[in-house]
């Protein structure tokens, strides 16, 4: 990939996906339970 726009969008989407498991946790919750490994997504998805 040499197109800087494509590279930037890919990096943005990966970074956004990595933050999903802790996205709506407060700073206090994260201090009590810090991220030390990979966490799975725990949001139930609707059946298709």
The helix or strand, by DSSP H or E, that contains position 29, with its residue range, turns out to be: helix 27-32
- Give pLDDT, residue 1: 64
Report residues of the chain scoring pLDDT below 70: 1, 39-43, 45, 48
What are the CA-CA distances from residue 3 to residues 8, 30, 44 (Å)?
Answer: 9, 36, 36
- Give pLDDT, residue 22: 81
Q: For the chain, how long is the longest CA-to-CA vector?
A: 41
Q: What burial letters (b/e) apply to 25-35, b meaning 16+ CB within 10 Å?
A: eeeeeeeeeee
- Give pLDDT, residue 43: 67
CA 7 to CA 22: how far, in whole Å? 24
- Give pLDDT, residue 15: 85
């Amino acid at each position: 990939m040499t197109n800087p726009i494509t590279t930037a969008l890919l990096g943005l989407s990966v970074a956004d996906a990595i933050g999903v498991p802790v996205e709506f946790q407060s700073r206090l919750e994260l201090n009590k339970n810090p991220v030390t490994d990979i966490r799975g997504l725990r949001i139930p998805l609707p059946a298709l």
